[in-house]
Amino acid sequence: MTPRVPYLSARLQGFGTTIFAEMSALAVRTGSINLGQGFPDTDGPAAVADAAVAAIRAGHNQYPPGAGIPELRAAVADHQRRFWDMELDPESEVLITAGATEAITAALLALCEVGDEVVAFEPTYDSYRPAAAMAGATLRVVTLQAPDYGFDPAELTAAITPRTRLVLLNSPHNPTGKVFDEAELDLIARLCVEHDLLAVTDEVYEHMVFDGRHQPLAMRPGMAERTLTVSSAGKTFSFTGWKIGWACGPADLVAAVRTAKQFLTYVNGAPFQPAVVVGLGLDDAYFGEFRDTLAAKRDLLCDGLEKVGFEVHRPAGTYFATTDIRPLGFDDGIAFCRSLPERCGVVAVPSAVFYERPDGGRHLVRFTFCKRDEILTEALSRLEALS
């Protein structure tokens, strides 16, 4: 969707403006309800926001330590143990980053040589390909097949070549909402061990699983020593603009990523770091209610979209639902999303942008449901114009 950008290096041609920025700008320009870019329309817990305000007032406004404040590294290690039974040394095995985005980009820059290959699943989150390109690496994708988003094990095996450096796995998966199951994780783990590959896992939606359960790849046999686990406070605490994320795993991997991070942002988010400590320490009720509230929103949106006439691929996790627009008489998601604001006053994201394969996701459109119920209801009533 992006034209050639003058001066932009050949490595980054084609990555001009992210689809999320483009669609959010379209929503503002047309006054539409924005079910495109995934960000909540209500703030996260007041206690967490108050802690950020207090931190600014208390003078936490200068460069924090490069790896993140010790209290936050300890809180991340506690969180990984509490939810996933993962044992980490907060001193050497946890790095605080400017969101998951920086953690992933820094990981690819740190871990890949020019010419290396990275295996990922398609549809692919939008930052993976440009991040690999910046590292001089290329993505090799394995397609998750709609509507269930399973994959062919032979395709995964074939995607691994002598140049493969790592597998980049996103589960729960954006945009499909797929949660990789035990058998799939076991297969990925087995191939990583067999081919001596590293893994980088993007687990930003770890607390948004409605069916099945989230399982970090790092916990599969043979994986702890080769996996960098990435997540972000932006999703779990609904403060996407704070950009506090983390990468954890073996000290050598974390040290490598820290080296790259030093020269990207150096450090980030001084007053937000103590606030996220408060968030990570919230009781189980917070995490449970967060998930249950989103599960209800998923059903509200998905039921409504089905009534309008979309074929809905109800997600097991994340705050995104994918729809097939063909039953409504459309087949080009990009054209559909471009005309949707004018037609209905709603913005959504065409899934085609997450595919490399020609015509991949052509008739699929992603809607987010991390919005107030009344906004979702209003969007659905506007979308009835399509039926």
Chain residues in the site for ligand PMP (CB under 6 A): 99-101, 125, 170, 174, 202, 204, 232, 234, 240, 243, 245
x/- letters, 158..197, toward ligand GLN (CB under 6 A): ----------------x-----------------------
Is-contact 267 65, C-beta < 8 A?
Answer: yes
228 binds, among ligand PMP, ligand GLN, none (CB under 5 to 8 A by kind): none
Distance of closest approach, residue 329 Cβ to ligand GLN, in angstroms: 26
Please say which residue, 56 or 375, places its beta carbon nearer to ligand GLN.
375
Cα atoms in the 13 Å half-sphere on the side-chain side of 307: 14
Name the residue whose CB lies closest to ligand PMP: 99
Please say which residue, 37 or 323, places its beta carbon nearer to ligand GLN.
37
Distance of closest approach, residue 271 Cβ to ligand PMP, in angstroms: 17
DSSP states of 188-248 as a string?
A: HHHHHHHTT-EEEEE-TTTT-BSSS----GGGSTTTGGGEEEEEEHHHHTT-GGG--EEEE
Cα atoms in the 13 Å half-sphere on the side-chain side of 256: 18
Going by C-alpha positions, the residue among 289, 275, 281 that lies closest to residue 234 is 275
Distance of closest approach, residue 129 Cβ to ligand PMP, in angstroms: 13
Is-contact 160 139, C-beta < 8 A?
Answer: no
Distance of closest approach, residue 5 Cβ to ligand GLN, in angstroms: 18
Whether a cis peptide bond, with omega within 30° of 0, leads into 65 is no
351 binds, among ligand PMP, ligand GLN, none (CB under 5 to 8 A by kind): none
Is-contact 365 346, C-beta < 8 A?
Answer: no
Widest Cα–Cα separation across the chain = 58
238 binds, among ligand GLN, ligand PMP, none (CB under 5 to 8 A by kind): none
Please say which residue, 18 or 92, places its beta carbon nearer to ligand GLN.
18
φ, ψ at 91 (rounded to 5°) = -70, -45
139 binds, among ligand PMP, ligand GLN, none (CB under 5 to 8 A by kind): none
99 binds, among ligand GLN, ligand PMP, none (CB under 5 to 8 A by kind): ligand PMP
φ, ψ at 373 (rounded to 5°) = -55, -40
Please say which residue, 20 or 330, places its beta carbon nearer to ligand PMP.
20
DSSP states of 298-366 as a string?
A: HHHHHHHHHHHT-EEE--SBSSEEEEE-GGGT---HHHHHHHHHHHHSEE-EEGGGG--STTTTTTEEE
Q: In this structure, what token pair is assigned to residue 108?
A: 């690819």
28-47 positions binding ligand GLN, by CB under 6 A:
37-38
Segment holding 119, helix H or strand E: strand 117-122
Distance of closest approach, residue 162 Cβ to ligand GLN, in angstroms: 33
Please say which residue, 18 or 30, places its beta carbon nearer to ligand GLN.
18
Whether a cis peptide bond, with omega within 30° of 0, leads into 90 is no
Please say which residue, 101 or 322, places its beta carbon nearer to ligand PMP.
101
Binding residue for ligand GLN, selected from 20, 83, 84, 287, defined by CB under 6 A: 20
37 binds, among ligand PMP, ligand GLN, none (CB under 5 to 8 A by kind): ligand GLN
Helix count and strand count (H, E) for the chain: 13, 13
Please say which residue, 143 or 174, places its beta carbon nearer to ligand GLN.
174
Distance of closest approach, residue 174 Cβ to ligand GLN, in angstroms: 5
Distance of closest approach, residue 175 Cβ to ligand GLN, in angstroms: 7
Using CB under 6 A as the binding rule, whether residue 18 contacts ligand GLN is answered as yes
Query: For binding to ligand GLN (CB under 6 A), which residues are involved?
Result: 18, 20, 37-38, 174
